Amino acid sequence: MNYNSIKKQILFVGIGVLGILLCLSCDTDLVETYDQYIPEKVVSIAKPDSVAVVSTDYNKILFQVCVNADPKIKKAVIALFDDDKTDDDDKIVTTIDIDRTLFKPEIYEVELELSEGGSEYFVHLEDVDGNASIKYDVFGTVLGQSYKESLQARQFSTISQYSDSEAVINWVSNRAINNSNEEIVRNKLLVRSELIYTSSVDGTEKVIVVDESEDVTIIPDFISEETFIYTTFYRAVADSPYIFESNATEEVFPLKL
């Protein structure tokens, strides 16, 4: 074997050893990186299927959290978005304990009394060890005093004497005809009005309920130039069962002729 052959063999062996050492080094770095960034036990918690936020009453709001069939879920956490950049914590508003025996999608509700205004909320689910799901982002509005003051009592066009004892109120109609000659509802939030007055017969206080579809109301026993008050009730949102009352409006019956 000549000198050049021996030299080539030594070179190949050296390259091979260097390659093995590099592979071992890379493998060690890969394991260390995996251990650093990947926990020993990865637990995945399904996030809420949906979250609905409904204004229910004065300064009250209802959260409806749809929880899927994941059997690990034990708690729903509702937090208020926190724009404080000095920490990563959201302000927890409330939690809902989830204790069930049937593992199927269900809706859990909680009604809270909060300050008026619109806010962004984060809702996530947790297991018994506190492992959290991805956050569900939702916007909700709490209706309070400012909203109540913005509600106007229903308007009427005229109020006049109808007979010796009766007065008639002609309301601004909540119905209209569109371009297709179809009747439509002007204000779908309008529910009813309630009128309170003093009877000319026995002096007692009486209440007349005026449905939103009613355009004419007869007061059977009004007192000449006597004041009366009325308020109007509105739904918080269309088709909602939750109702808000406007501030009272004071008016005067006509002079009896």
Residue 236's DSSP bridge partners are none
Nearest in space to 112 (alpha carbons), one of 130, 96, 89, 136? 96
The percent of residues above 70 in pLDDT, for the chain, comes to 81
CB atoms within 10 A of CB 255: 8
Ordered structural domains, the chain, with CATH = 50-144 (2.60.40.10), 151-252 (2.60.40.10)
pLDDT in tens, 229-257: 999 999 988 888 889 999 999 999 999 98
Nearest in space to 133 (alpha carbons), one of 76, 51, 93, 90? 76
Confidence of residue 30 (pLDDT cuts 50, 70, 90): very low
pLDDT in tens, 122-134: 999 999 999 999 9
Amino acid at 31: V
The C-alpha angle 153, 203, 201, rounded to 5 degrees, equals: 105
Q: Over 153-191, what HEC string results?
A: CCCEEEEEECCCCCEEEEECCCEEECCCCCEEECCCCEE
Terminal C-alpha separation, the chain: 139
pLDDT in tens, 58-103: 899 999 999 988 889 999 999 998 765 555 567 899 999 998 877 7
Cβ burial of 61 (10 Å; 0-12, 13-18, 19+) is: buried
Which residue's entry shows tokens 């052959």?
A: 5
Nearest in space to 106 (alpha carbons), one of 156, 67, 151? 67
* pLDDT score of 153: 96
* DSSP category for residue 104: S
The C-alpha angle 67, 72, 77, rounded to 5 degrees, equals: 50
Longest dimension (CA), the chain: 139
CB 64 within 8 A of CB 78: no
Helix spans in the chain (H): 3-37, 145-150
Q: Which two tokens stand for residue 18?
A: 């260097």
Range 203-211, long-range pairs (CB < 8 A, 24+ positions) = 210/154, 210/171
Nearest in space to 71 (alpha carbons), one of 124, 110, 128? 128
Helix (H) / strand (E) element for 233: namely strand 227-235
| 46 pLDDT above the threshold of 90 | no
| 23 pLDDT above the threshold of 60 | no
Q: Which two tokens stand for residue 226?
A: 């006597």
pLDDT in tens, 155-197: 999 999 999 999 999 999 999 999 999 999 999 999 999 999 9
pLDDT in tens, 105-116: 999 999 999 999
